A = this chain, B = another copy of it.
Amino acid sequence: MLILLTNDDGIRAPGLVALYREIRDLGEVHVVAPETVQSASGHGITLDTPLLTQRVTIEETFTGTAVEGRPADCVKLAMAQILPRTPDLVISGLNSGANVGINVIYSGTVAAAIEAAFLGAPAIAASLHLRSDIRTDYAAGAKHARMAIDRVLAAGIKPGEIVSINVPAIAQRAKPAGMKVVRQCTRPWVDTYEERTDPRGRKYYWNSSVFTLGETEDDTDVAALRDGYITITPLQFDLTHHLMLRAWQDREWK
């Protein structure tokens, strides 16, 4: 099996290295990932500047291609240029931080998976929830992600399909509550900004929002992750609002 491993935290990120170690026995794993941290980069791509690359060896564990670009650039470049053929699987992660709820639309991790699916591969995004009261353990997180990846492969993920996995923050020696297939929570959060003034009198703003696994319906990714489950959410990239489309097509437009 030919596998592309990428992420949005950069090729040196502990989550990627831990996940590489967990999945390398699955097949031939190529790593093509951003040179620098690209968190919350969304689905941006680079068209007007070149993508600089270099081959790097990380923690004596793998040699991969570092790309000075966005997560989706890495997938595009890998699939168009670097890999010998369309990979049998693309994995993006293990991200530092959950990608549940509306965070899914900001996520570079998810964007990389969506790009891969759109270009014809089966794609999995894997993210680890972080909690300030629990020591982050990427090795354990990657083990749980691998369990979920195995289940997704057994379920039969097809080219063009995307599955997002989120692993709960787990105390040492504890276990996830189980695994749940759940939808994305689309509830808004409340943004807050702190206003300050620079030495020259200009206003600037810090985003001071606190992102918690808060109010939600029972059947969502947010609820399941909060309750300690590994979450599995199938995603898609058709942004058309089909219900509204049909209603509006029934009106007269000239």
Contacts and interface: CB of A to CB of B under 8 A. Distances in A.
B81 A207 contact: no
Interface string A153-195: 0010000011000000000000000111111101010011101
A63 interface: no
**Residue of A52, A108, A202, A253 most packed against chain B (CB within 10 A):** A253
Given A239-B235, A240-B235, A79 B181 contact: no
Contacts of A184: 238-240
Given A119-B191, A178-B253, A191-B79, A50 B234 contact: no
Interface string A45-64: 11110111110000000000
A85 interface: no
Given A51-B207, A232-B253, A248-B234, A81 B195 contact: yes
Contact of A50 (B52, B119, B161, B205): B205
B240 A193 contact: no
Nearest to A115: B105
A203 B53 contact: yes
Interface stretch (A17-25, A36-44, A88-96, A131-139): A36-44
Interface size class on chain A is 35 or more
A38 B207 CA distance: 19
Interface of A: 39-48, 50-54, 70, 72, 76-77, 79-81, 102, 104-106, 108, 110-111, 114, 118-120, 151, 155, 161-162, 178-184, 186, 188, 191-193, 195-196, 198, 202-207, 232-242, 244-245, 248-249, 251, 253-254
